Amino acid sequence: MNVKPFTDLARLCVHTITTRPLDIENAVEKYASLGVRGITVWREVFKTDKPRQVYKIIRRSGLETVSLCRGGFFPSVDKDERERAIADNLSALEEASELEAPLLVLVCGSDPLQSPKTSRNQIREGIEAILPSAGRLGVKLAIEPLHPVYADIRSAINTMKQANDMAGYFNSPWLGVAVDVYHVWWDEALQREIVRCGDNNNLFAFHICDWKVPTGDILFDRGLMGEGCIDLRQIRCWMEEAGFKGFCEVEIFSEIYWKTDQDEFLNKIIRTYLDFA
Ligand code: ZN
């Protein structure tokens, strides 16, 4: 299958963290006025605006809420910490429900004081504890595999295979996978695991940006589409061949772009989405 460039913005979603300097009212207004169609809300927005208030702001704009970021961070050597994490994830599910977001993305966590395998076992226990609430509230959960460079503290799930294995263990319609190109582009098994994920109806989200060469900061130097070495259109092709029809969500953490004019930045996002996604 040949994937053609997008000719409109019907599947463009932007994460609020991408335009971190903007408050939620401003972000929503700018996205909508530029023709962006979807929004993924980061929980830090709730420091100033309650979920129901954010829901109303988004509703007025006509934007579609794609997901809430993020839950997870289940593992810890400390049992009390693990229980706190589960409580926090249950809160995140309630927030997603109030926001009427259909999906909560999980950055699953890891504790460097124990093996990644032990952390993965605790991730499984964490998901097991919150999955019934996800079903009751009608909010799906998406495991986002993170690049292995984050295996110390951010996630012990580092490949699509590990994410698929975890989702497969539960085999629940409420649990799937979020594919973020920044984390998985290097993986030789990527195409095969995207196919497997699609076969299980578990392709829940698609996050896009680029891996800059060289990367100045492993967390806060993500590039615009086309600015680095990720063959974004190839990966989108695999996603669509596997049945994915959802939004392409622009998720860029960048100390560089956060310091620039956010109107110009959003215009660049739209241009590079049309050119490279
Ligand atoms: Zn992501």
Provide DSSP, 224-274. PTTSSS--HHHHHHHHHHTT--S-EEE---BHHHHTS-HHHHHHHHHHHHH
- Average pLDDT (161-176) is 98
The reported pLDDT for the residue numbered 2 is: 76
Cα 144 to ligand 1 centre (Å) = 7
Q: What spacing in Å lies between the alpha carbon of 251 and ligand 1's midpoint?
A: 6
Question: Which residues line ion ligand 1, judged by CB < 5 Å?
Answer: 180, 207, 251
Residue 214, H or E segment: none
Residues 243-260, mean pLDDT to the nearest whole number? 98
- Mean residue pLDDT across the chain: 98
Segment 124-144 shows an average pLDDT of 98
Token reading at 256: 């560089």
Give the Cβ contact number of residue 162 at 10 Å: 20
State the pLDDT confidence band at 190, using cuts at 50, 70 and 90: very high
Assess whether pLDDT exceeds 80 at residue 146.
Answer: yes
Q: What residue ranges do the domains of the chain occupy?
A: 12-276
Q: What is the pLDDT of residues 209-225, one digit of tens each?
A: 999 999 999 999 999 99
Q: Give the DSSP H or E segment for 155.
A: none
Does the pLDDT value for residue 262 go beyond 70? yes
1 has a pLDDT exceeding 90: no
* Cβ count within 10 A of residue 109: 25
Is 70 exceeded by the pLDDT of residue 243?
yes
Q: What is the pTM assigned to this prediction?
A: 0.98
Quote the percentage of the chain above a pLDDT of 70.
100
> Cα of 69 to ligand 1 centre, how many Å?
9
Res. 3 pLDDT band, cuts 50 70 90: confident
Identify which of 108, 146, 151 has the alpha carbon closest to the alpha carbon of residue 127.
108
Instruction: Give buried/exposed letters for 228-267 (b at 16+ CB in 10 A, else e).
Output: bebebbebbbbbbebebebbbbbbbbbeebbeeebeebbe
Closest residue by Cα to residue 46 from 68, 28, 62, 63:
68
pLDDT per position as a tens digit, 75-112? 999 999 999 999 999 999 999 999 999 999 999 999 99
Total number of residues shown for the chain:
277
CATH class of the domain whose range is 12-276:
alpha beta
Ligand 1 center from residue 206 Cα (angstroms): 8
Ligand 1: distance of its center to the CA of 181 in Å? 8
